[in-house]
Amino acid sequence: MNPTPSLAVINTSSIIIHFVSYPKMASTIRSQEDQRAGAEIVYGSEACFNHSISLLEELGFPKGVLPLQDLVECGRVRETGFVWMKQKAPYEHFFTGTNTRVSYSMEVTAYVEKFKMKKMTGIKSKQVFLWVPITEMSIDDPASQKIHFKTPVGIGKAFPLVAFMTEEEKQKYLEEARK
């Protein structure tokens, strides 16, 4: 659909043409519906928690890397890899293992594949005095035991996987390391 022109007379010697664009919200809603077509959706705190943990395990990520709170809806479109997780309210978490504060908006989205989440939305990391969006996280080499995070401009940082493990995962990791 093209914008519809409308005329407005400012005074007798000038005419200005305004192009009325369609609201962004309408296209956003339409694209969300397209992204979520054919999705598996779960509702409720416990079901969403189990769904998100299962997804992280399937992708090869530690369970603590997305410590979302009070989840109300989670969805996944297996054909495209699109996933989303909705919380009741935004949440901030401090990762002591990386000395980093991370903000999670009410909805976090990503396209996922084994060892990678890309085109992420809804996650920001506090760096000095600025909140920087995180758009990708990946485990490029599982043997390195590092997880990489990237910003929209491609600047990234790597941290040890253990910094995002739950206590249960850390215990298992340490037991395997002793063998």
**Mean pLDDT, residues 21-30:** 48
Does residue 104 sit in the same domain as residue 147? Answer: yes
Instruction: Give the burial class of 83: count Cβ atoms within 10 A of its Cβ; 0-12 exposed, 13-18 middle, 19 or more buried.
Output: buried
Q: Are residues 67 and 15 in the same domain?
A: no
β partners of residue 160: 146
State the residue range of the domain holding 26: 4-32
Co-location of 12 and 58 in the same domain? no
The chain-wide mean pLDDT, for the chain, equals 85
Q: Assess contact for 137 and 116: CB atoms under 8 A.
A: yes
Q: Are residues 47 and 58 in the same domain?
A: yes
> Across residues 104-108, what is the average pLDDT?
98
User: Residue 133's pLDDT is what?
Assistant: 98
> In terms of domains, do 20 and 86 share one?
no
**What average pLDDT does range 2-16 have in this prediction?**
41
Burial of residue 22, with CB atoms counted within 10 A of its CB: 0-12 exposed, 13-18 middle, 19 or more buried: exposed
Residues 25 and 83 in one domain: no
26 and 84 belong to one structural domain:
no
> What is the percentage of the chain residues whose pLDDT exceeds 70?
82
pLDDT of 6 higher than 60: no
Say yes or no: 81 and 167 in one domain.
yes
Query: Are 138 and 92 in a shared domain?
Result: yes
Average pLDDT over residues 111-128: 97
Q: How many CA atoms lie within 13 A of 45 on its CB side?
A: 4
Do 122 and 153 fall into the same domain?
Answer: yes
What tokens were used for 102?
């991370």
76 CB-side CA count, 13 A: 14
pLDDT of residue 31: 67
Nearest to 111 by CA among 134, 77, 139, 142: 77
pLDDT at residue number 14: 41
* Average pLDDT rounded to a whole number, residues 49-67: 96
Task: Note whether 88 and 101 are same-domain residues.
Answer: yes
Q: Does residue 11 carry a pLDDT above 50?
A: no
- pLDDT for the residue numbered 179: 76
pTM: 0.78
Q: Same domain for 10 and 56?
A: no
Q: With 0-12 CB in 10 A as exposed, 13-18 as middle and 19+ as buried, what is 64?
A: buried
Count of domains for the chain: 2
Q: From 149, 59, 22, 48, select the one nearest 98 (Cα to Cα).
A: 149
